[in-house]
Homo-oligomer: A and B are copies of this chain.
Amino acid sequence: MKRIAIDMDEVIADFASKHLGVYNRDFGESLTLQDVQGARLWHARPELANEILSYLDHPDFFRDLDVIEGSQDVVRLLSERYEIFITTAAMEHPASFTAKYQWLTEHFPFLSDRNFVFCGDKSIIYADYLIDDSSRHFARFSGTGILYTAPHNIHETGHIRVNNWEDIRQYFLGETLL
């Protein structure tokens, strides 16, 4: 059975919307995801980078992220034909461990927590595919990297790209209906 590793933030968990929301609320702005296309929020407001990044050190930041549309249904479908692991670079934000674990068990209860991986450098992941919004993880990955479109990566080329979970369903399951 082939194995698919799936990132969390921006792939199954809607990180950017919440981050933009709390930023707008606290700094009196009304930026949209369109406004930050091609960059991270902290690159768009470099003078506030420290404050913007500090949100991510709050233990609860990652607990109530919205689920990316279609991810639950398609991951469930994929799990019938592939071995699924959730692989998140949680070491970048150690305060997030518990929130990320709870989020996964709440929204993906059909996956075993034995298949959750909190790591940093994803070259340690042994899988046939890695679906991720950060292409830097593909450079030393031993399998096939699949770039999941997120605001910050829309200008990147050179990778297999999927724009949504319907694209992923098509890629792995072809015409199989949900």
Contact = CB atoms under 8 A, between A and B. Distances in A.
Interface of A: 3, 5, 85, 87, 90-91, 94-95, 97-98, 101, 112-121, 123-127, 142
Copies in the complex: 2
A171 to B, nearest CB: 21
Contacts of A85: 121, 124
A115 B91 CA distance: 9
Contacts of A91: 101, 113-114, 116
A26 to B, nearest CB: 26
A98 B94 CA distance: 7
Contacts of A142: 126
A24 to B, nearest CB: 30
